[in-house]
Each structure stands twice: as C-alpha cells, then as structure tokens.
Structure 1
Amino acid sequence: MKPHVVAAASLLLIALAATTAGAVTFNATDAASGTAGGQRFDQAVGLAYASQVLSNASTFIWSAFNQTSPADRKPVDAVTLVVADVGGAPAFASGDVITLSAPYVGNYSGDVKTEVTGVLYHEMAHVWQWDGQGQANGGLIEGIADFVRLKAGYAPGHWVKPGQGDRWDQGYDVTAWFLDYCDLLRPGFVAQLNAKMKDGYSDDFFAQILGKSVQQLWQDYKAKYE
C-alpha cells in the first residue's frame, strides 16, 4: 500500500469510538494496542464502551455540580481518552485529554472494566471541575474527583473507610468521604463549593456554606466515626 494509504488505515484502526452529549464530543483511542495492557483494555473494556463512559460521566458530573446549562461549565467542545503505554498513575487528565495507563490496566487484579469506569469518572471530574484559579490545594481537587467516583457508585474496595485519614485535605478517598459527610449536612454542598471555586479559593468557603470552619467540620467528622 502507498504510505499515505497505510497511514490513513492506521488512523482508522486507532480512532474507533466517538460519542456526543450536550454538544460535547467524546473520543477514545488505543495507542497501546500492541502491549499486554492495551490488549486487555480492548478485550475487557473496549473503545466504544470507554467513549460512552466519558459521555455518561460528563452528564452525571454536570448534574452533581448543578451545571445544568453549558454556560455554567468550562468551554470544552471535545474530550479525548488515550490508552497509552505509560507508567505511574492509573490515569491523568491534562486539559481535555485523559491518558489511561495501559500497564495499569494490564496489571490490575480484579474487575478491570469496573475499575477503568471508576477511574474515568474521576478523570472526567478533573475535566469539568473548577480549581479556584489554581489556588485550591491538590488534596481538595483530588478529593472532589473521588467524591464524584463515590457518588457514581464506583468506589473500589481498597479505599479507606469513612472516618479514616489524618487531614481533611489529604486527598483522594480520605477527602472524598469527608466531602460526602459535608454533602449530607447540606445536600448540594460540593456543587456549591465547586461553583465558588470558579473564581478563586479560600478554606472559608466551608464556613460560608456550612457555618463552621473546615477544621471544625473535620473534627466533627472524625468524632462521628470514633
């Protein structure tokens, strides 16, 4: 085949799935199909399913963040998932691109389809959440993303239990459970917190919404589970 025909055929094999929701396009590609992890992804998850998860997760997040209008959201027109032969974290989001680690998929012991689904809900939260114009600490950002994963029903068994952890902003599952506690005190708390984080960030946001400092809330939370 001619080089340009081969290249076109290769692109066709890689870019197999696209879904739309709310005028946003979601694409999924496997750039690691030649690796064990990429092959497991293709067999256990698949591009079409992953693309649909991106769409479903976005719809769920818009509801969880009370972003019913596109004007309330980040101006994102398309989100792309790339399965890549990279180590480190299970996945990471950079702007509107989510990279999923093929080695993580290949080495995961358990229901990998459910795990990937939960990971994608977490990463989609990063795509849509506000970060306080860069002022919010990383623990809170990760905690909100895991809160989304928790509320969507994809919290894995290896997470810490409610009440565990050393600091409210420890991040990930620790902060997710704490935010869930705050959200029970005032339903929609996380949505209000995220909305406030559009233009900046202060720990005082907790007191403004719930009437108590974040440190007092953390003490109350820990006391509940002692």
Structure 2
Amino acid sequence: MEAHPLLQSLIATTSTTTYGVRALSSPPPKVDSHVISNVSGILFRLTLITLIGILAIWANHEASKGFSITIVNDAGKYSLPGKHFSLFYQANDKATRIVLNTSRFVENLLYPNKDFLHMRKQIDGVTLRLAPTVFPGIVAVDSPKPYEYIISLSPSVMETSNNNEEAIVLAVLQGMARVWLWDGNGATPPVLLNGMVEYISSLAGFTLAEAWTSSGDATRSPEKNVVCWTDEQPRMVAWFLRYCDQRKQPGGGGGGEVIRRLNQKMRTGWHDWMMDEALGMAGQHACASYDMLIRHHNLLSSM
C-alpha cells in the first residue's frame, strides 16, 4: 500500500543533481568581442541571481531548523543496530534530515501562523541518540537542561530490517511531538500527552489502529467515575481526540484544532477545565458521546 502523502514528505530526503559538460567535436567559430561582452554580462547576472537564490535557500534552511542537532550512536559501532544506524542514518546525515522534517511538521501543526508565535516553545538543541539497550516503547524524551532535549531511540527500531525507515521516522516524529508539546509544567496527565503524540502521528499519515479492536476494553466502566482521557491507553485517547477534532471541523475533517487548543492552554499549567475549553463542551459529556459511539459500533459488529 502506498504511503500517506504526509508520511512520504517526512521520509523524503534531499537529492543532488550533477550536470555534465559535453566536449565539442571541433573548435568553436570566432565570436565578436561585443557578443562576448554581452554574454559575460548575462553570465554575471545569472551567477549573481544563483548566488542570491542559494543564500535565500540557506537562510530558509537555517530559519526552519532553529536549533542545533546532534546525532549520537550509543548502541556502539559493533552491535547490529549500531552498525545499521551508523550506515543508513548517521554517516549520510539522513538522521539530521529526518529530525528537521518531523520537527517542521509538528511545529507547523501546533504553531501554524504568526498568531501562535508568542506561545511557541523555545528549543535550543536536540540530540538524537540510538540507546545502548532496548526499553519499553520505541522512543523516550528527556530534557537535562532548559531548552535542550534528548530523543532516545530504542535499538528495537533498527532490528526489524536493515533500513526500516518508516519505523525510524515514526519514532523521531513522536519524539519531536513530545519536544514541541507543552506539558503544563509537568502537571498534564501523561496518558493525555501520549495520546496527543499518537494523534499527531496519525495526522502525519501513520495508521492509528481502530479503537474498538480491543473489544470490551474499549468502553470504560461507569464506576470509575473519571474522564476518558485520564484513564485509557494512549491510543484510546488519540481516538477520542480524533473524534472530538472531527466534530469541530467542517465536514468532519479533523485538522488538529483540538491539539492546538490544548497545547496553547498547557503552557503554564494544567486543570481539567482546560480540556472542556479545548473541546467546547464538558469533557464528561464528550466522553459519554464517544462511549456511546463505540458501544453502538460494537453492537453492530456483534450482529
């Protein structure tokens, strides 16, 4: 199956085109000095325009990057995952390009225009490292000091294939999503943050498994008396956010508006009413509506 267009753009890497010069079979005819002067002037202007274009591209590249990027292979050059990471991602700077591509996608999603600049997180540096040992999940994010982030990839993402690029891109995308998202000064429920990361991944083109595939676990027990986005699995939270997002968008498209609203409110702290404001309705009511949808789907599936 062909990859989602957004996923293709995240995976895409920069290519270089080489132009060759073909030798003339015979000496060229003599050209008038006036013609040579005109040609020289044209070539100078073309060179100047090309130089300006290159400088503009470089400036845009630096502006889009906005932070330093360091690639580290802590798995070791003699381990199989370490060898693959070094060969396919570190030596050719592909890892750096993936960080830039995924960062640009998440940043544009969370801060789409100048109205969001005042709430944009400051990021001075990102270190992408292949961890020495396998850990739960595929990616972990730490911030050893303000504005500096370490995205650690589990070696397991390198073990399924010599070049499992989609798995690497997904892991880095989720890491960058966690970097760009505010966390309410540490007060936002972790399952909600993880659900937001899952939903962002689905907006980029990665498949989000059906919420109702977990059968009876998909519906909350009423006696829990808690809202659905605080006690479910991250993927269930992602489906809930998608459901709410589609309700808010004309035509049910779902473009990440709920994510942007939540992220804006999580800059300075966290309170449950922030979810109510982001959804435009009480969270309990949204959860009840979502649970009803899932129960209806399960009922139809059992017929």
TM-score normalised by length of structure 2 = 0.61
1:72 maps to a residue whose letter is M
Matches within 5 A, 1:71-220: 71-89=118-136, 90-95=138-143, 96-102=149-155, 104-108=156-160, 112-155=164-207, 160-163=209-212, 165=218, 166=220, 167-169=228-230, 170-187=232-249, 188-220=257-289
Specify which structure has the higher proportion of helix.
Answer: 2
Deviation string, structure 1 residues 70-104 (Cα, Å, up to 9, x no partner)? 543222111110112122122201021111122x1
TM superposition shift of 1:67 = 5.4
SS at match of 2:241: helix
- The question of whether the paired residues in 2 share the 8 Å contact of 1:122 and 1:149 is answered with yes
Q: Hey, what's the Cα distance between the residues in 1 that align with 2:245 and 2:162?
A: 30
Q: Is the alpha carbon distance of 1:71 and 1:86 closer, same or farther for their aligned partners in structure 2, counting shifts above 3 Å?
A: farther
TM superposition shift of 1:168 = 2.8
- The question of whether the paired residues in 2 share the 8 Å contact of 1:41 and 1:105 is answered with no
Q: Is the alpha carbon distance of 1:82 and 1:111 closer, same or farther for their aligned partners in structure 2, counting shifts above 3 Å?
A: closer
Identity of aligned residues (%): 24
- The question of whether the paired residues in 1 share the 8 Å contact of 2:84 and 2:162 is answered with no
TM superposition shift of 1:154 = 2.2
Deviation string, structure 1 residues 146-198 (Cα, Å, up to 9, x no partner)? 1111111123xxx5413453443324222112111121122411101110011
Q: Hey, what's the Cα distance between the residues in 2 that align with 1:148 and 1:177?
A: 11
1:130 maps to a residue whose letter is W
Deviation string, structure 1 residues 126-157 (Cα, Å, up to 9, x no partner)? 111111111111100111111111111123xx
SS at match of 2:229: coil
Q: Is the alpha carbon distance of 1:111 and 1:182 closer, same or farther for their aligned partners in structure 2, counting shifts above 3 Å?
A: farther
State how many pairs are aligned: 203
Q: Is the alpha carbon distance of 1:173 and 1:109 closer, same or farther for their aligned partners in structure 2, counting shifts above 3 Å?
A: farther
Q: Hey, what's the Cα distance between the residues in 2 that align with 1:110 and 1:183?
A: 37
Q: Hey, what's the Cα distance between the residues in 2 that align with 1:196 and 1:130?
A: 9
Q: Hey, what's the Cα distance between the residues in 1 that align with 2:175 and 2:71?
A: 14
- The question of whether the paired residues in 2 share the 8 Å contact of 1:35 and 1:85 is answered with no
Bigger Rg, structure 1 or 2:
2
- The question of whether the paired residues in 1 share the 8 Å contact of 2:119 and 2:267 is answered with no
Q: Is the alpha carbon distance of 1:68 and 1:78 closer, same or farther for their aligned partners in structure 2, counting shifts above 3 Å?
A: farther
What is the alpha-carbon root mean square deviation over aligned residues? 2.3
2:275 maps to a residue whose letter is F
Specify which structure has the higher proportion of strand.
Answer: 1
